[in-house]
């Protein structure tokens, strides 16, 4: 299934993409794509619904029908840094001996095609296409061998970053990662049964038509199974939590000389089988 949320910001309704690429309204079946709806037994019940019998929503998704973030009421938005060795190298940093963990504030989450704001005072706003992992069955101290059974599904995330705020202003990375609009998520949550191997997905990103990132999740330093197990040692993972798993090389920071975003540009990015996003940058 490809679960989604559609409608005006703050008024999104749950939906599902049908076999013809149209949106069907799920609001008569669930209240939101969030929380307990993402548990394995809830997803199993959803699979039993005759999708063709659901009301058809007018409009074409990502054209004249706005999509919101594919998961609602997110509790934690956990990110992994330097998780591709070639990206670490372009950033002038060593591959870490353990995963680098930081947060994006949930107020950063926006729809896949919503505008991205260049923060006031920003001089180094950057892009990062990433595989998002959405937790279904929560837990603590999860065994790596069981980790994928805790995944509800996968999605595209743009981990927009302000590098000066992140790296040059002291403190943690978080201040450069969680600005408003810095977490476009979606277009849909592709349930785990449709993604046989999360370590075999191509991902890419373009700015104004120029391809900057072109990678594969196969080159992650720490894979999805390990990350779920690792994070669960330090916190309970809960339904609807998002783990953004790191970015391949090609970010603006790694260009020679570096290239950063300015208002009026367009980012286009996607992951094989998970859809694509398009954002225009605007000044905050």
- Mind listing the pLDDT tens digit for each residue in 163-203? 999 999 988 899 999 999 999 999 999 999 999 999 999 99
pLDDT of residue 91 exceeding 90, the answer is no
What's the rounded mean pLDDT across residues 53-58?
A: 98
The residues facing 191 across adjacent strands are: 153
133: number of Cβ within 10 Å: 29
* pLDDT bracket for residue 92 (50, 70, 90): confident
CA 224 to centroid of chain Cα atoms: 14
pLDDT of residue 93 exceeding 80, the answer is no
Token pair, residue 3, equals 């679960």
**Does CATH number 3.90.850.10 belong to domain 73-283?**
yes
Q: What is residue 160's three-state secondary structure? A: coil
236-270 pLDDT per residue, tens? 999 999 999 999 999 999 999 999 999 999 999 99
Cα 104 from Cα 242, distance rounded (Å): 10
CA 262 to centroid of chain Cα atoms: 22
Token pair, residue 85, equals 């060795």
């Amino acid at each position: 299934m490809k679960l989604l949320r559609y409608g005006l910001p703050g008024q999104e309704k749950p939906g599902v993409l049908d076999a013809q690429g149209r949106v069907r309204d799920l609001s008569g079946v669930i209240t939101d794509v969030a929380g307990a709806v993402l548990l394995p037994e809830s997803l199993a019940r959803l699979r039993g619904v005759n999708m063709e019998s659901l009301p058809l929503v007018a409009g074409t998704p990502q054209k004249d029908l706005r999509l919101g973030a594919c998961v609602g009421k997110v509790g934690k938005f956990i990110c992994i840094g330097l998780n591709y060795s070639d990206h670490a190298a372009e950033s002038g940093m060593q591959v870490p001996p353990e995963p680098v963990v930081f947060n994006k504030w949930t107020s950063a989450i926006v729809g896949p095609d919503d505008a991205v704001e260049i923060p006031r005072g920003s001089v180094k706003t950057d892009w990062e296409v990433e595989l998002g992992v959405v937790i279904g069955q929560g837990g603590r101290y999860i065994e790596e061998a069981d980790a994928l059974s805790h995944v509800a599904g996968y999605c595209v995330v743009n981990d927009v970053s302000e590098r000066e705020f992140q790296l040059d202003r002291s403190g943690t990375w978080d201040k450069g990662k969680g600005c408003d609009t810095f977490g476009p998520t979606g277009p849909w949550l592709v349930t785990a049964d449709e993604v046989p191997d999360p370590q075999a997905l191509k991902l890419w990103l373009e700015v104004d038509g120029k391809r900057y990132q072109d990678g594969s999740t196969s080159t992650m330093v720490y894979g999805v199974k390990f990350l779920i197990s690792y994070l669960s040692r330090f916190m309970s993972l809960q339904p609807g939590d998002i783990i953004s798993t790191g970015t391949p090389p090609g970010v603006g920071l790694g260009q020679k000389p570096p290239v950063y975003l300015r208002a009026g540009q367009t980012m286009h990015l996607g992951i094989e089988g998970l859809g694509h996003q398009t954002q225009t940058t605007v000044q905050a």
